[in-house]
């Protein structure tokens, strides 16, 4: 991560942090150009293979948000100059303040953990089977399609590498050719159906890529729904999974800065570290989880000691 850094802000619970007098003089001092800001930048060596650069903003998150636009721009500009002097090309800000980012190019969106939720689909299904005592070789998975044909086919390709029975629920029958190709490559039984009632009632696990609101009445009790699509109010006895809980390797968690852990969720931190090691430091809105991408990221997650702790 030599070319990237992660922004951290001061903690509210630090002694003296909320002193109005201290904050007043701090803001006065920050106006002077001659003030040494090099201590904002810090490099943490977590392991021999994992180095994290931090840029320490001189405010708490709340103080930063209360600054006017001009002062926020000044803080971001100063931080950018410090980072670039250290050879850093991009800076990641906390996901919770993305609305404040106006600088294009240098400041990037924080990973929010949702990429891991998609990439770790095989891990998720294996854990579900373990918890519910299901035989992964005989379970039936139904996929409620959304509006993204490419996303649907990628999920099917991924499932076909370890699942024998998959049914796609869709009104669009223009995917027959692609599905046949996947069948000939893998041997997985892949059905395409518009019969929501019978198909959903047979499923052990349902993957929702679209809007399940009109289909939820057909979902049987105690089935598992992996919800990657629009949120819906499922029945109480349906196990709905909207996200995952990730556990960091002990050697990584032990070395991380407290301010980092307070500003970023564990899923976000895990995603940042895993994605950087995989060679994907910056993810744009149009990223695509192809099979090579999934295999590489999932392998690093497993091999480096990250754990799928649970579900949300």
The stretch 37-50 carries a mean pLDDT of 84
Triad 95, 45, 117: Cα angle to 5°: 35
Could you tell me which residue, 17 or 61, shows the higher pLDDT? 61
pLDDT of residue 15: 42
Q: How far apart are CA 85 and CA 295, in angstroms?
A: 35
Whether the per-residue pLDDT at 161 is higher than 50: the answer is yes
pLDDT of residue 233: 76
Q: Which CATH class is domain 116-242?
A: alpha beta
User: Mean pLDDT over all residues of the chain?
Assistant: 84
Q: How far apart are CA 167 and CA 145, in angstroms?
A: 10
pTM attached to this predicted model: 0.84
Other beta carbons within 10 angstroms of residue 115's beta carbon come to 20
Q: How far apart are CA 186 and CA 115, in angstroms?
A: 25
pLDDT of residue 128: 96
Whether the per-residue pLDDT at 12 is higher than 80: the answer is no
What are φ and ψ of residue 96, in 5° steps?
-70, -15
Q: How far apart are CA 154 and CA 137, in angstroms?
A: 20
Q: How far apart are CA 285 and CA 234, in angstroms?
A: 29
Triad 247, 152, 175: Cα angle to 5°: 160
Q: How many residues does the chain have?
A: 312
The stretch 15-19 carries a mean pLDDT of 45
Are 239 and 219 spatial neighbours (Cβ–Cβ below 8 Å)? no
Are 229 and 144 spatial neighbours (Cβ–Cβ below 8 Å)? yes
Among 48-52, 85-89, 237-241, the minimum mean pLDDT is found in 48-52
Helix, strand, coil: what percent of the chain each, to 5?
40, 20, 35
pLDDT of residue 54: 93
Kindly give the residue spans of alpha helices, DSSP state H, lying in the chain. 20-30, 61-66, 69-85, 114-119, 121-132, 149-159, 176-186, 196-202, 250-255, 258-263, 266-277, 291-303
Whether the per-residue pLDDT at 276 is higher than 90: the answer is no
- Model confidence at 29, pLDDT cuts 50, 70, 90, reads low
Could you tell me which residue, 216 or 142, shows the higher pLDDT? 142
pLDDT of residue 18: 46
Q: Where are the domains of the chain?
A: 1-112+247-288, 116-242
Parallel/antiparallel/unpaired status of strands 224-227 and 4-10: unpaired
pLDDT of residue 246: 95
Among 21-30, 138-147, 166-175, the minimum mean pLDDT is found in 21-30
pLDDT of residue 16: 42
pLDDT of residue 10: 85
The stretch 226-230 carries a mean pLDDT of 90
The stretch 255-284 carries a mean pLDDT of 84
- Model confidence at 220, pLDDT cuts 50, 70, 90, reads confident
Parallel/antiparallel/unpaired status of strands 4-10 and 50-60: parallel
The stretch 226-233 carries a mean pLDDT of 85
Whether the per-residue pLDDT at 28 is higher than 70: the answer is no
What 192-199 contacts at long range (C-beta under 8 Å, 24+ apart), as own/partner pairs, is 192/167, 192/168, 193/167, 193/168, 193/169, 194/169, 194/170, 195/169, 196/169, 199/142, 199/167, 199/169
Q: How far apart are CA 24 and CA 258, in angstroms?
A: 25
């Amino acid at each position: 991560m030599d070319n990237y850094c992660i922004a951290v802000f001061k903690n509210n619970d630090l002694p003296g942090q909320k002193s109005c007098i201290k904050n007043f003089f701090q803001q006065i001092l920050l106006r002077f150009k001659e003030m040494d800001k090099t201590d904002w930048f810090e490099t943490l060596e977590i392991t021999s293979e994992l180095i994290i650069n931090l840029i320490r903003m001189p405010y708490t998150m709340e103080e930063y948000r209360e600054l006017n636009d001009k002062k926020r721009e000044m803080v971001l500009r100063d931080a950018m100059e410090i980072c670039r002097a250290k050879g850093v090309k991009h800076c990641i800000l906390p996901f919770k303040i993305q609305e404040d980012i106006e600088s294009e190019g240098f400041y990037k969106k924080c990973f929010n953990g949702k990429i891991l939720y998609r990439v770790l689909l095989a891990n998720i299904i294996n854990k579900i089977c373990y918890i519910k005592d299901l035989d992964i070789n005989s379970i039936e998975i139904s996929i409620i399609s959304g509006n993204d044909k490419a996303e649907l086919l990628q999920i099917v390709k991924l499932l076909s590498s370890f699942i024998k029975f998959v049914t796609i629920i869709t009104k669009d029958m223009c995917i027959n050719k692609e599905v046949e190709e996947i069948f000939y490559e893998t041997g997985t039984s892949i059905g395409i159906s518009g019969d929501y009632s019978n198909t959903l009632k047979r499923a052990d696990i349902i993957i929702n890529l679209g809007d399940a609101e009109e289909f939820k009445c057909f979902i049987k009790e105690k089935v598992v729904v992996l919800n990657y699509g629009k949120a819906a109010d499922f029945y109480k006895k349906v196990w709905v999974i909207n996200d995952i809980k990730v556990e960091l390797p002990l050697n990584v968690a032990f070395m991380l800065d407290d301010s980092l852990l307070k500003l970023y969720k564990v899923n976000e931190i895990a995603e940042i570290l895993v994605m950087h090691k995989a060679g994907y430091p910056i993810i744009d809105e149009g990223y695509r989880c192809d099979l090579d991408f999934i295999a590489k990221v999932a392998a690093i997650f497993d091999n480096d000691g990250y754990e799928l702790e649970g579900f949300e």
